[in-house]
Amino acid sequence: MASWPDIGGSSWRNSGEEKSGRTVIEFDLAAFHFLRPWWLLGIAPGVWMALRYLRRLGGSNGWSGRIEPALLEVLLEGSAQGHNRPIAALLGTVLVIASLGIAGPTFARLPQPVEQHTEALVVVLDLSLSMLVGDTPPSRIVRARHKIIDLLNLQNEGFVGLVAYAGDAHIVSPLTDDRHTVINLLNALSPEMMPVLGSRPENAIVQAHKLLANAGLSQGRILLVTDGIERISDVTRHATRDIPISILGIGTEQGAPIPLDFANQAGQVLRDDQGRPVIARLDIERLQTVAELCHGRYADLAITDADIRYLAGTPLPGPAETIAIERQFDTWADIGYWFALALLPFALFAFRRGVLVCLVLAAAPADANGWDDLWQRPDQQAFRALQQGEPERAASLLVDPRWRQWRGVANYRSDQFEDAERAFVTDPSATGHYNRGNALARQGKIDRAIQAYDQALALRPEHEDAAFNKALLERQQQSSGASQGNPPEGNPQDSATADDSPGAPQNADPSAADEPQPQDEEGERSQSDGADEPAAQLAEQDPQTAQERDELDDAMEQWLRRVPDDPGGLLRRKFQYETNQRLRRGEYQSRQDERIW
């Protein structure tokens, strides 16, 4: 009987590991299946062709129905019938072996290293006041954000970083392959959050070079998204062939005034010292010159993806390389190629004079398809059903006594607590007593549940979950005078649950799967201790009625709503802090003739 795993908190161990620099393959004959099972249908035509050929040979080319058997035996050579019979048998055997090989038999997982392109792109976004101009509706900054998102979605490989600048530059995101995080931060950027007004792309280019250097990359691309550059030398002095700087121009040559809506001056525009409205125009020729001097490309903002595709193709001096990252994934090792060795003798037979054997083997992809469930054992199908939230189906599949504990899990999750108790009672381990105590508690059998927890603690005194559930039931008995027939108001910590995390194998043997607890009430309680005091006090109370539970849920929901989920405020404080630090160190110097837009 397979051992019942400690599902209280053990972590899933991947089948493939790296030990001493060698790739370890774990073999499991019980997990034997076919990667491409549809190819097994080729066995039927092969057998049918062989039988049909043998039947035709048995008819002696049609003469048996017209000539007496005694005379036919004299007229035909003795070896005429038996000469071709082996050919038919060989033909059917070849088709069967070929079908088995192409179907992709496998019973071992092979860990595959994950490689990633080292191509790096640092996006430098202009957040000066001129990006608020609405000549490219709804505004330049909105169109710039949308275009950068399109670029990140277009490039699904390599690393990307984000730098924002106005009068000072700040790193929004270091080089990463997590584009969703970059997009989330990008949507929070706006000119009004910058602590220093102005437009200094030089500081941003320096920060971009630092990102590439810190990542250990000798080459990469910088994309400057801006509507203008006041001093060309601020950018061109950092030009290198290894790190070309391309520019995406935002705006129009006609330009438009800069609105002051962000400063609570609705309808007003920014004016110069003479009181004239400031018109922010896009200087295309100037930006093209800067891009050429920096070994990059220039493109105007377009409705299609033609602009970002052109800029993304900025050539680099050297070829892109790949690096191995720490992540790995397991793939089934296809052993179908061994069947090719079994076909070699038949291939040699095909060279005999007068014999032609033609086998066309179509290559098929190596991924397992959706029909793999047809080739799984009932316990494997039951484990997948548990992961998919179908405990009733899982319980119906787990009829083998070896999987009685897993049947208890399925019964527990489908609220069949009596059946779960009968399944868990067969496990004398601490985990078995703990699971049985949970099932008893859910039935309202408090005294017996406490006894089960005591048995679990006797075998494993450090079992924190059993101790917590026991204390919970004892407190409820003391506070409400509950007897054995009264069910507890608070659910004990359930360990009889399946692991729905991506790390749990979907096709693995359940006897090797350790399921962690989905929710630890004690862990939740400790996490809430450092939060708001009223919410923490509410969380420590034992709800006795449905009304109190509803009040507790409402209080916790209101407390969670107070947690800000907008990264804009965090970035604003981060930018302000970095600017203050630079001012203290004397790194920031203002220019008297510098424009604030």
Q: What is the DSSP string of 326-362?
A: EEEEEEE---TTHHHHHHHHHHHHTTSTT--------
Radius of gyration of the chain measured on its C-alpha atoms: 36
What does residue 446 show for φ and ψ, rounded to 5 degrees? -70, -45
Sequence-separated (6 or more) residues with CB below 8 Å from residue 201: 124, 126, 165, 224, 226, 229, 234, 235
Tokens, residue 103: 């179907």
What pLDDT is recorded for position 464?
Answer: 84
Sequence letter at residue 522: E
SS3 content of the chain, % helix, strand, coil (to 5): 50, 15, 40
What pLDDT is recorded for position 427?
Answer: 85
Tokens, residue 265: 């001056």
The pTM score is: 0.48
Q: What is the CATH number of domain 373-512?
A: 1.25.40.10
Q: Are 159 and 120 in contact (CB under 8 A)?
A: yes
Mean pLDDT, 10 residues at a time, the chain of 597 residues? 37 34 54 84 78 62 63 58 58 81 82 70 96 93 95 88 94 92 91 92 94 90 95 92 96 93 86 90 94 96 94 88 57 80 71 48 41 63 78 81 82 87 87 88 88 90 86 80 47 43 34 37 38 37 52 58 62 90 80 70
Alpha carbon separation from 349 to 91, 171, 357, 464 (Å, rounded): 11, 70, 9, 70
Cross-strand pairs, 271: 277
Question: How many residues are present in the chain?
Answer: 597
Tokens, residue 164: 């924002």
Say what the alpha-carbon torsion angle 180, 181, 185, 186 is, to the nearest 10 degrees. Answer: -40
Q: Are 269 and 298 in contact (CB under 8 A)?
A: no
- Give just the sign of the alpha carbon dihedral 252, 254, 258, 259: negative
Cis ω for the linkage preceding 138 (within 30 of 0): yes
What pLDDT is recorded for position 305?
Answer: 93
Alpha carbon separation from 417 to 199, 394, 414 (Å, rounded): 68, 15, 8
What pLDDT is recorded for position 122?
Answer: 96
Say what the alpha-carbon torsion angle 391, 397, 402, 404 is, to the nearest 10 degrees. Answer: 30
**29 vs 24: CA distance, rounded Å:** 16
**383 vs 104: CA distance, rounded Å:** 24
Residue 311: CB atoms within 10 A of its CB come to 23
What does residue 528 show for φ and ψ, rounded to 5 degrees? -80, -10
What pLDDT is recorded for position 359?
Answer: 42
What pLDDT is recorded for position 296?
Answer: 96
Q: Are 132 and 189 in contact (CB under 8 A)?
A: no
What does residue 361 show for φ and ψ, rounded to 5 degrees? -105, 115
What pLDDT is recorded for position 10?
Answer: 31
Tokens, residue 471: 């204390």
Q: What is the DSSP string of 221-245?
A: EEEEEES--S-THHHHTT--SSS-E
At the topology level of CATH, where does 119-320 sit? Answer: Rossmann fold (3.40.50)
Q: What is the DSSP string of 188-203?
A: T--GGG-SS-S--HHH
Q: What residue ranges do the domains of the chain occupy?
A: 36-109+335-367, 119-320, 373-512, 521-561
**62 vs 56: CA distance, rounded Å:** 8
What pLDDT is recorded for position 105?
Answer: 87
Supply the DSSP symbol for 520: -
**47 vs 57: CA distance, rounded Å:** 15
Angle at 333 between CA 327 and CA 334, to 5 degrees: 140
Segments in 84-139 forming alpha helices (H): 85-102
What pLDDT is recorded for position 389?
Answer: 79
Chain CA centroid to CA 72, Å: 73
CA atoms within 13 A on the CB side of 591: 12
Closest C-alpha among 359, 363, 362, 340 to residue 350: 359
Tokens, residue 142: 């909105």
